[in-house]
Amino acid sequence: MRLRSLLPSLVLAALAAISMPALAAYPDKPIRLIVPSAPGGAPDALMRALATQLSQQMGVPIVVDNKPGGSYTIGTMDLVRSPADGYTLAYGNVVSLATNRSLLSNVPYDVEKDLTLVANTLRLSNLMIVSNELPVKSVPELIAYAKKNPGKLAFASDGNGTTAHLGVELFKSMTGTHMLHVPYKAGTAALTDLIGGGVQLMMINTPVSGPPAQAGRVRALGISSTQRSPTYPDIPTIAESGVPGFEVAAWGGIVGPARMPKDIVTRLNAEIRTALANPAVRERFKMLGAETDPSTPEQFLELSRRETVKWAKIIKDSGAKID
Co-location of 255 and 116 in the same domain:
yes
Co-location of 158 and 236 in the same domain:
yes
pLDDT of residue 158: 83
Q: Which residue has the higher pLDDT, 117 or 318?
A: 117
Co-location of 142 and 194 in the same domain:
yes
Nearest-angstrom CA–CA distance, 233 and 273: 27
pLDDT, tens digit, 9 for 90 and up, residues 266-299: 999 999 999 999 999 999 998 888 999 999 999 9
At residue 62, what are phi and psi to the nearest 5 degrees? -120, 110
Co-location of 188 and 43 in the same domain:
no
- Is residue 80 in some structural domain? yes
Nearest-angstrom CA–CA distance, 246 and 102: 21
Nearest-angstrom CA–CA distance, 304 and 320: 19
Give the domain-ending residue among 206, 221, 241: 241
Domain at 221, CATH number: 3.40.190.10
- Is residue 46 in some structural domain? yes
Co-location of 303 and 271 in the same domain:
yes
pLDDT, tens digit, 9 for 90 and up, residues 76-96: 999 999 999 999 999 999 999
- Is residue 84 in some structural domain? yes
Res 215 pLDDT > 60? yes
pLDDT, tens digit, 9 for 90 and up, residues 144-158: 999 999 999 999 998
- Is residue 8 in some structural domain? no
Co-location of 96 and 183 in the same domain:
no
Q: Which of 283, 253, 285 is nearest to 268 (CA)?
A: 253
Q: Which of 123, 53, 64 is nearest to 90 (CA)?
A: 64
Give the domain-ending residue among 184, 209, 241: 241
- Is residue 67 in some structural domain? yes
Banded model confidence at residue 31, pLDDT cuts 50, 70, 90:
very high
Co-location of 154 and 58 in the same domain:
no
Residues 163, 249 contacting (CB under 8 angstroms): yes
Banded model confidence at residue 35, pLDDT cuts 50, 70, 90:
very high
At residue 119, what are phi and psi to the nearest 5 degrees? -170, 135
Sequence-distant (6+) residues with CB within 8 A of 164 are 126, 156, 157, 158, 187, 190, 202, 203, 204, 205
Co-location of 179 and 87 in the same domain:
no
pLDDT of residue 52: 98
Res 163 pLDDT > 90? no
Co-location of 43 and 58 in the same domain:
yes
Beta bridge partners of 122: 252, 292
Domain at 57, CATH number: 3.40.190.150
Instruction: Determine the structural domain holding residue 133 and report its residue range.
Output: 125-241
- Is residue 167 in some structural domain? yes
- Is residue 22 in some structural domain? no
Give the domain-ending residue among 203, 224, 241: 241
Count of domains observed in the chain: 2
Q: Mean pLDDT throughout 215-237?
A: 93
- Is residue 6 in some structural domain? no
pLDDT, tens digit, 9 for 90 and up, residues 250-265: 899 999 999 999 999 9
